[in-house]
Amino acid sequence: MYNERPVAYPNPHDTGSLLARAVQACLLSEAGEDPSWPSVPEELQQDFVRAVGEHRVTWTVHRYADWLGFSETASADLANLAAADVMSAMRVQAVTVELLAALADEGIRTLVYKGVALALTTTGDAAARGASDIDILVDPGDMRRLHETLLRIGADFVAGYSPPPTSDLWDFVTGVGCEIPYQWRGVSLDVHWRIDALPQIAAMSFEDLWHRSESVSIAGTQIATLGEVDALLVTAAHGTKEHWRHLRWVVDFVRQARITRDWPAVVSNARETGCEPSLAVGVAVASHLDPQCCPMFPSARMRELGERAWRRSLAQTAPFGGVNLVRQVERLAWRFATLPPGAIGPAVAREAFKPIDMAEAPLPRSLVWAYPLVRPALWGKRLITGRYGSSAIG
């Protein structure tokens, strides 16, 4: 049964609610429907355009800006944001193609996901998701070789978040983490060996994802990306982990849901891979933009979590930004509320062993057991300095 609950916005006069109404109208227009366009009062237009950029939905809104009654100034500001997104997407495309060529030369299979690959899959336009980094997934056994290749072609490993693959602690990092960051040619690169740090969430092996992969063309080059069902579940897992705090992720979910042809496979795979709670929350959130994009009706508990995420997204009060103990506790509470069955024990264990702690305070392999004891002191230091380690960004 389709979810036919009415779409409600907390306050029709605040910027977040206006943006949600505008994005909903844009998505309806994309689907060939005739939406009711909101009119953005001139006194709110500057804040509205800023929110468009912060929620990363510039491409979506800019195409329909003429329907929103913008002033000349607001129209120009939105056009400038859109032009910047196009330039960023062009740079990311060029770097992606060059990166994949270098990895292919080393025999390293690579799946590109999110970013320009998802934009192309859902809209046909690489700039549709705005500015982005590059997210790639590789076989865990290729991480050291990939690291050496990236350094050889001039990429910088971003220290402070995790020890590198050449570290004596790397075996422990691969067990409790899922990604490490690099910078190359002005673009951020996140290299994943697993979708989520908790193996029980998005429990999909690289081999299975590779065999189900599809291809998209970036700058005339065919690259491998996630298959339709896997990509939707990854969007759900990532969006729920991040509290759906950017409308771009909700828009992604709606667009992907609309083109999904095998919903029984989505539901079955979600259950088998630990994505069922994330998918349910994603459906609840997405229903605010398109109540009929998914033939599912989440449980009352998942709908309540979706409502909470939706409200905080519009108000931009999700618990992120900087080093803050209260926000950290809120994130942990959300994380445990959205875990799949049987994952609480492993999740608790992983809270005691973090790659960022291993980067900030490298211990000998024989003392890895001591990280839960060191963690309170590291957090005390972070709260005092407002930073995660000496090199990581706070």
Residue 119's CATH number:
3.30.460.40
Q: What is the pLDDT of residue 385?
A: 85
Q: Kindly state the tokens that stand for 58.
A: 């510039």
Asked if 78 contacts 53 with a C-beta cutoff of 8 angstroms, the reply is no
Q: How confident is the model at residue 390 (pLDDT cuts 50, 70, 90)?
A: low
Percent of the chain residues past pLDDT 90, beyond the cut = 89
Predicted structure pTM score: 0.93
Summarize the confidence of residues 306-317 as an average pLDDT: 96
Average pLDDT, the chain: 93
Mean pLDDT over 225-246 rounds to 97
Q: Which residue has the tokens 């839960």?
A: 372
316/303 Cα distance (integer angstroms)? 19
More confident residue, 7 or 75: 75
pLDDT digits (tens, 9 = 90+) for 93-112: 999 999 999 999 999 999 99
**pLDDT reported for residue 394:** 38
Instruction: State the residue for tokens 């992720």.
Output: 249
Q: Is residue 8 part of a domain?
A: no
Q: State both tokens at 386.
A: 């407002």
Instruction: Identify whether 240 is part of a domain.
Output: yes
Asked if residues 112 and 96 have their Cβ atoms less than 8 Å apart, the reply is: yes
What pLDDT, on a 0 to 100 scale, did the predictor assign at position 53?
Answer: 96
**DSSP β-ladder status, 187-192 and 134-137:** parallel
Asked which of 46-55, 93-102, 336-345, 385-394 is least confident by mean pLDDT, the reply is 385-394
- What are the distances in angstroms from CA 358 to CA 191, 214, 310, 326, 345? 18, 36, 34, 23, 21
Answer yes or no: is 255 within a domain: yes
Q: Count the residues in the chain.
A: 394
Say if residues 169 and 369 touch (Cβ distance below 8 Å): no
Asked whether residue 128 is assigned to any structural domain, the reply reads: yes
d(CA 335, CA 349): 14
Residue 172 has phi, psi (to 5 degrees) of -75, -35
In a domain, 257, yes or no: yes
141-199: pLDDT as tens digits:
999 999 999 999 999 999 999 999 999 999 999 999 999 999 999 999 999 999 999 99
| Inside any domain, residue 304 | yes
The 3-state DSSP composition of the chain as helix, strand, coil percent (nearest 5) reads 55, 10, 35
- Percentage of the chain surpassing pLDDT 70? 95
Expressed as residue numbers, the domain containing 105 is 86-321
Q: Which residue has the higher pLDDT, 219 or 245?
A: 245
Number of domains in the chain: 1
Residue 88 has pLDDT above 90, yes or no: yes
Average pLDDT over residues 4-30: 75
At 13, the pLDDT band (50, 70, 90 cuts) reads low
> Sorting pLDDT into bands at 50, 70 and 90, what band is 386?
confident
3 state SS of 353: coil
**Is 254 inside any structural domain?**
yes
The Cβ of residue 142 has, within 10 Å, a number of other Cβ atoms equal to 20
State the Cα–Cα distance between residues 229 and 209, nearest whole angstrom: 10
Q: Quick one: pLDDT at residue 389?
A: 65
* Interval 71-85: pLDDT, tens: 999 999 999 999 999
Residue with token string 């943006």: 19
Please name every residue paired with 187 in a beta bridge, in sequence order, or none if there are none: 184
Residue 11 pLDDT level (bands cut at 50, 70, 90): very low
**Residue 239 belongs to a domain:** yes
Q: What is the pLDDT of residue 4?
A: 35
pLDDT of residue 323: 87
> Rg of the Cα trace of the chain?
21
